[in-house]
């Protein structure tokens, strides 16, 4: 009997000491439908994941790098509340949450000059790896306060984390391997900046064959507003779908209720089956006892 599953929940083998079953366990579809652009869309929660991009202190905290160079970070903080609403029901539905963040090596050995220039345009020595303020932590360096997710969104240990080193989270990272190992076909996106790292990663996801949905209220940018508007237009026009998190939360609430009802129905059926089995066993025992009693009585004659 192959009764030990080896691998991710959605992509595992059955194994024992003497046998390996390569068949993946069937995954029951969990469709939810929500309003989106350019059309209403039905997605399968059992094949979906949420990727949250760069909701980090350096971009979203008043003491971070972006604020230190005079950028108004208020837009970068707007997705926080929407994410706080949508994350718990997604987790309850078993949808993987992946935090995709800048997390550079201390030596920046894999970061080319074109990327370093974004953060240090005049070559004065600021930017990646340098403290944004005297005594501060190194900008967007893996393991630093600067690269940490903002406190309001601190994830549980069950969420997944992937460090990135480019605007796109697919280049030079395990993101694609993680998604494929989770048997994901649809990727929901949120985070900052919507017109930069979010869009670059979403575009690559679409080119790799994933279905992509941008959760508009879960994404924002500190760029001029027209940059976000153009991003939303292009996602709906060229790459996938754009939706708001509110109908998704509503759909998840309905899904949770249906799942709960199904579980109760299943439990009730199991209880009923157990009761019937018990009654049948008692009746059988009573019949056997009666037969035995009759045989003894006949023998007595």
β-partners of residue 21 are: 14
Q: Which of helix, strand or coil describes residue 28? A: coil
Question: Which strands form 4-8's sheet, in the order they lie side by side?
Answer: 4-8, 11-16, 19-21
Which structure tokens are listed for 50?
């949420």
CA distances in angstroms from 168 to 53, 110, 201, listed in the order given: 10, 14, 4
Rounded to a whole number of angstroms, the distance between the first and last alpha carbons of the chain is 53
Q: Which one of 164, 195, 204, 218 is the catalytic residue?
A: 164
Known catalytic residue: 197?
A: yes
Q: Which one of 54, 58, 163, 195 is the catalytic residue?
A: 54
Tell which residue, 165, 170, 166, has the closest CA to residue 189: 170
Known catalytic residue: 195?
A: no
Give dist(CA 126, CA 133) in Å, integer: 10
Residue 71 DSSP label:
-
Q: Which one of 60, 195, 197, 211 is the catalytic residue?
A: 197
Known catalytic residue: 35?
A: no
Q: Where are the alpha helices (DSSP H) in 93-126?
A: 113-119
Q: Which of helix, strand or coil describes residue 214? A: strand
Give dist(CA 105, CA 129) in Å, integer: 8
Give dist(CA 102, CA 186) in Å, integer: 23
The catalytic residues are 54, 164, 197
């Amino acid at each position: 009997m192959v009764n030990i599953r080896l691998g991710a929940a959605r992509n595992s083998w059955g194994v024992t000491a003497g046998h390996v079953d390569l068949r993946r366990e069937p995954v029951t579809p969990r469709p939810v439908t929500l309003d989106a652009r350019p059309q209403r869309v039905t997605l399968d929660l059992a094949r979906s994941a949420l990727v949250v991009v760069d909701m980090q202190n350096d971009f979203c905290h008043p003491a971070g790098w972006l604020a230190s160079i005079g950028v108004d970070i208020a837009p970068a903080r707007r997705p926080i509340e929407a994410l706080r609403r949508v994350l718990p029901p997604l987790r309850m539905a078993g949808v993987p949450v992946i935090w995709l963040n800048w997390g550079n090596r201390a030596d920046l050995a894999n970061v080319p000059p074109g990327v370093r220039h974004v953060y240090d345009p005049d070559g004065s020595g600021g930017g990646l790896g340098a403290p944004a303020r005297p005594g501060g932590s190194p900008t967007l360096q893996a393991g630093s306060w600067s690269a940490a997710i903002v406190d309001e969104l601190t994830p549980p240990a069950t969420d997944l984390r992937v460090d990135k080193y480019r605007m796109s989270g697919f280049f030079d990272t395990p993101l694609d391997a993680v998604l494929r190992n989770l048997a994901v076909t649809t990727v929901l996106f949120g985070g900052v900046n919507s017109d930069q790292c979010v869009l670059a990663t979403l575009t690559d996801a679409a080119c790799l064959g994933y279905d992509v949905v941008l959760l508009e209220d879960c994404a924002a940018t500190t760029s001029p507003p027209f940059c976000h508007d153009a991003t939303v237009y292009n996602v709906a026009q060229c790459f996938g779908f754009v939706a708001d998190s509110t109908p998704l939360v509503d759909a998840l609430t309905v899904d949770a209720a249906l799942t709960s009802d199904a579980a109760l129905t299943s439990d009730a059926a199991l209880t009923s089956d157990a009761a019937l089995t018990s009654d049948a066993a008692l009746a059988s025992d009573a019949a056997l006892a009666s037969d035995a009693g009759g045989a003894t009585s006949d023998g007595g004659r």
